[in-house]
Amino acid sequence: MTDATGATTATAGPAPRGTYDPRLALGATGLLADLNLAGVLDAGDVRVAQRVAALGGEDDDRVRLAVALAVRAVRLGSVGVDLSADLATGLALPEGVALPPAEEWAAAIAASPLTAAGVLHHDLGLVSLDRYHRLERQIADDLAARIAADRPAVDEGVLVATLQRVRGAHFSAEQAAAVEHAVRHRTTVLTGGPGTGKTTTVARIVVALADQFRAAGHARHFSVALAAPTGKAATRLQEAVGAEVEALHLDLAELGRPEARTLHRLLGWRPDNTTRFVHDRGNRLKQDLIVVDEASMVDLTMMARLLEAVRPDTRLVLVGDPGQLTSVGAGAVLSDLVTGFEAREDSPVVALRENHRSTEEIKALAQALRDGDADAVLAVLRAGSDEVEYVETDQPAEALRPACLAAARRVHDGATAGGTGSGTPAERAHAALAALEEFRLLCAHREGPFGVRHWNRQVEQWLAEDLGQPLGSAWYAGRPLLVTSNDYTLDVYNGETGVVVRDDEGRPRAWIAGVGEPRAFAPGRLDAIDTMHAMTIHKSQGSQADTITVLLPDADSRLLTRELFYTAVTRAKRRLRVVGTEAAVRAAVATTAQRATGLAARLSGAPA
């Protein structure tokens, strides 16, 4: 179910017990204590509310509760909490516990010294903390300023010539319209599902804007930054744009040699501040064009930091699929942009709808998921084809073993040259990394019988049995790796993948495939590394593989949503296999993970 914060939740579990239970906030009273005891609020939610209230001179229990629920909302991905009548149902309150009446509660918040001090806000139907309220307003204001600014000058003859030059065999009218929009406007939000040609369009936008730049008589090179939230997504964007430009028989040097970076690297990481960057409103980015791919993964804070760092005259192109999972952090920025600008004549949103891929069954499944039609989803799954296979079971081990073991063996054989150790370490690393891109096992959970930890251990056990010997150590040759956090000193980023290969002296080295050529690291230098025989669907965003196997959890999983399933399905390039029960499929299609935000309303011009 979804609560009034918009986050998917499970019903409250067993109440925490014990005087020293860390889940209990000492000193909590009234509704704060009741909801903490029921597991609706955690100790951190309560402690923040207590501290904020104490600093602000607020002693009204209703206001303290609102603060705690606003903190909880952010923790679950929303920007604020809706105090409407549906809130009690969404929170799964224990019997005998009731929330304050909505009007009385709103009046208490309006009269609170926390509201007067700007610590707490109640507008657009949401109660939110000041930080997230300011971020939403900043994003809305910055976008409004960009849209209201004078449009750039356009050399019409050059534009016509460019569109003719880049047309190619698979360049649709809607893609041409998107390129033209990017030339005529400073901000473009390019949306579309898999196979709609987003990257093809981005490559042509780069060419078209470079042509306009030269026609304007600039002496310097046109400067382009290709960015994405993760290193893997940034690498994929650079490779795809480079391939498209090469297919057009154009010289990348003419286009300023677009360089892909993570958003953190583009903005400039500051070791003294985790939410501020080198580039900001006082030190703008220098590029003439900034393209951000996988924009659905960009949270509220990062989007605000990006917009404040972009020069007013820089072209900004945000690219993504609003049907995918939202960011791990608070907000649902891309979907809010699409919804908020929907009815506006000056909308920067350009949607690509025509699918150009030959994977008809995967396309049909993705469309059925977007439509929310569970019967159609099951029909595609059960039809069976070379592209889509459905294994209907609640005992997945037998179904998963052959494909997972074969994939693990291919990576191991690449890393060891089939056990011979021939070739250079770099050659073996390239072979293993290429094998790693052929297959992914995707799970909703990290823990439990349907989680990646369990299946990583299981695949390692199968691999050891197949090799006829123990793997030897945690850093065994052929171990697939996933980077799970940014390390700016090493230039290694969350989402990048790698593999363990032994060097000429027999020492294990972790080869990480980031932007550019893979690089080798001693294992001791890398802190945040997971094994990647299986990975979570959240972590798979920004990447693809030839074959994807999706393991659906039990139907009552709180993580199982339509967006999660859709994201997993759209990671497959050529072949998809879904393992799970009919109940799990139906639960996924029926559950949407909408978040409570105010950005769409702000963009649409709704009154506060």
pLDDT in tens, 438-457: 999 999 999 999 999 999 99
Percent of the chain with pLDDT over 90: 70
Residues 6+ apart with CB under 8 A from 355: 193, 194, 195, 196, 363
Residue 373 pLDDT class (50, 70, 90 cuts): very high
Structure tokens at 9: 């939740």
pLDDT digits (tens, 9 = 90+) for 323-361: 998 888 999 999 999 999 998 999 999 999 888 776 889
Q: pTM of this prediction?
A: 0.90
Mean pLDDT rounded to a whole number for the chain = 90
Instruction: Write the burial class of residue 43 (CB in 10 Å: 0-12 exposed, 13-18 middle, 19+ buried).
Output: middle
Q: For residues 442 and 549, is the Cβ–Cβ distance under 8 A?
A: yes
The least confident of 19-28, 198-207, 460-469 is 19-28
Residues 6+ apart with CB under 8 A from 272: none
Comparing 90-94, 120-124, 150-154, the range with the smallest average pLDDT is: 90-94
Alpha-carbon distance of 522 to 465, in angstroms, equals 27
State mean pLDDT over 188-214: 92
Burial of 375 (0-12, 13-18, 19+ CB in 10 A): exposed
**Distance from C-alpha of 27 to C-alpha of 93, rounded to nearest angstrom:** 21
Residue pair 255/195 in contact (Cβ under 8 Å)? The answer is no
Sign of the torsion angle spanned by Cα atoms 218, 221, 224, 225: negative
Please give the Cα distance from 496 to 526 (Å, whole number). 12
Taking residues 288-308, what's their average pLDDT? 96
pLDDT in tens, 155-198: 999 999 999 988 876 788 999 999 999 999 999 999 998 888 89
Task: Say yes or no to pLDDT of 4 above 70.
Answer: no
Residue 19 binned pLDDT confidence (cut-offs 50, 70, 90): low
| Residue 380, pLDDT score | 95
* pLDDT at res. 5: 44
Rounded to 5 degrees, φ, ψ at 563 are -60, -40
- The lowest-confidence range among 3-7, 118-122, 270-274, 564-568 is 3-7
Nearest-angstrom CA–CA distance, 477 and 494: 22
pLDDT value at 510 more than 90: yes
- Which residue(s) pair with 482 in the sheet? 497, 530
